[in-house]
Amino acid sequence: MFVWYNRFDTQKTLLPYTYLSKTMFIDTATISVRSGKGGDGAIHFRREKFVPRGGPDGGDGGKGGDIILVAQPNLNTLAHFRYKPSFKAEDGKKGGTNNKTGKAGEDLIINVPAGTIIYNDFNSEVLGDLVENGQRLVLLKGGRGGRGNARFASSKRQVPRIGERGEPGTELNLRLELKLIADIGIIGVPNAGKSTLLSAVTNAKPKIGAYPFTTIEPNLGVAGIDGEKELVLADIPGLIEGAHDGVGLGHEFLRHIQRTKVIIHLLDGASENPLLDFFQINSELALFDPDLGKKPQVVAYNKIDLPEVEGRWHKFQEDFLSQADVPGREFTQGNDLFPISALSRQNLKELLYRVSQILEKIPQPADVIEKPIYKFDTDPQDFEINPVDRGWRISGEAIERAAEMTYWEHFESIRRFQRILETLGIDEALRRSGVKVGDTIYIGGHELEWQN
């Protein structure tokens, strides 16, 4: 299903409607990302005429590219991830002769809409929350370049046939979740007139019809007040009983209310019991997130242009105000109540003025603190040894990375890897586990044979 959307810049200034684009609204996505591998260090010796035994001159490899997420003002959906779920930054280039360092891999920029929360899909850890346009999150650092053999030369080792392959990149599966950035959320039961209200006070063009669930996805619009203030409003699709349990896509709808600062609770004056509708929706808010029930609300009694609705207005007003004395319903006290008509635009200016006044009194949130670059929770030098068929499997970040960075075709590099095994305590741990000569040792994608 396709729907028209507004796009607005970082100052929340509405662009001409000719810039509207047709796109599918998707607010969740799962993607995999991998930073670039570092370039291999070179093992090379200077070879020039009249320069005997020129010495090692293998250069270091280049650093792999980072994975960086950036909030972009021209995006308002995660739909573009449906067709490209995997991302990989560029690898670093191999080191060259004459101590030349390889070229670093290009960083990979992944653009997301403002309001996107980034989760580790494995454990649901929040890795970042991009709420401002242009905000950046360096999620994964690229692998460092391997050292060339020139870096291993010393007075005792003048002809080092040793070097490092590039450090592998880091891979993560991410879950992206978009929560719309809006000052005001318009909520209510299906067919209360939310889309009509949004189109009446902004230049948004949501789909409107006289039947339930016309709106199946949130819409954004920008309303101007006196040519000075601008309010961003979100029309949240109709909530029904059980929305907090996901009934009628309730979770998807309720999520977008969490970032709003003020709620316009739109009541259908033509409903059989508008007061019951009001308490039902508030119950769903509180059950989904207790903080939602605490957000300031302005209650709008809609369709006052209809004679039968206007005739019931005073009775509804009395019933609503009397609820403040009912135990458990004290929260109705202090809520502003406006009779409006979204269709004939009656009392809409007064409604927006009141919402604007409430917004001005709400403290600005503290500056967003960006999450650090993703780190493993465990000590990278930790390892596990598990028996497998005719051998042993060694698992651990540091040792697996060292195995990937080893030049197995050079004896000196193998000797260096052996020293790493001893330094990390793996050698001794294998002996305690009962390793025997001829056993196969598996580390990452490599197989070694145990010798005393």
Domains of the chain as residue ranges with CATH: 25-178 (2.70.210.12), 184-361 (3.40.50.300), 384-449 (3.30.300.350)
pLDDT above 90 as % of the chain: 29
> Which of 4-18, 112-126, 224-238 reaches the highest mean pLDDT?
112-126
The amino acid at 58:
G
Residue 36 confidence class, pLDDT cut points 50, 70, 90: very high
Distance (Å, whole) CA 262 – CA 362? 9
Average pLDDT, the chain: 80
- Angle (CA) 259-261-263 rounded to 5° is 105
> By C-alpha distance, which of 176, 173, 167, 191 is closest to 240?
191
Residue 327 confidence class, pLDDT cut points 50, 70, 90: low
Predicted local distance difference test score (pLDDT) of residue 18:
28
Predicted local distance difference test score (pLDDT) of residue 450:
87
Instruction: Find the mean pLDDT for residues 100-108.
Output: 95
Predicted TM-score (pTM) of this structure? 0.68
Instruction: Find the mean pLDDT for residues 25-51.
Output: 86
pLDDT tens profile 139-194: 999 999 999 999 998 888 888 888 999 999 999 999 998 877 778 888 888 888 88
Start-end of H helices in 266-338: 274-288, 307-311, 313-322
Q: Is the pLDDT of residue 400 over 60?
A: yes
Predicted local distance difference test score (pLDDT) of residue 291:
81
Instruction: Find the mean pLDDT for residues 289-300.
Output: 84
Would you say 1 and 7 are in contact if contact means Cβ atoms under 8 Å apart?
Answer: no
Instruction: Find the mean pLDDT for residues 227-240.
Output: 72
Instruction: Collapse the DSSP code of 224 into the 3-class scheme (helix H, G, I; strand E, B; otherwise coil) and give the result.
Output: strand
Q: Which two tokens stand for residue 83?
A: 């067709």
Predicted local distance difference test score (pLDDT) of residue 173:
94
User: Tokens 């653009």 appear where?
Assistant: 111
Residue 208 confidence class, pLDDT cut points 50, 70, 90: very low
Instruction: Find the mean pLDDT for residues 48-55.
Output: 73
Taking phi over 0 as left and psi of -120 to 50 as alpha, with beta for the rest, 166 belongs to beta
Q: Which residues contact 429 (CB under 8 A, 6 or more apart)?
A: 383, 385
How many CA atoms within 13 Å lie on the side-chain side of 117? 17
Instruction: Find the mean pLDDT for residues 318-335.
Output: 66
Q: Is the pLDDT of residue 426 over 80?
A: yes
Residue 285 confidence class, pLDDT cut points 50, 70, 90: confident
Least confident of 111-125, 202-216, 277-291, 436-450: 202-216
pLDDT above 70 as % of the chain: 80
CA distances from 237 to 3, 94, 187, 266, 271 (A): 14, 54, 7, 12, 17
Instruction: Find the mean pLDDT for residues 362-372.
Output: 58
Distance (Å, whole) CA 435 – CA 393? 11
Q: Is the pLDDT of residue 244 over 70?
A: no
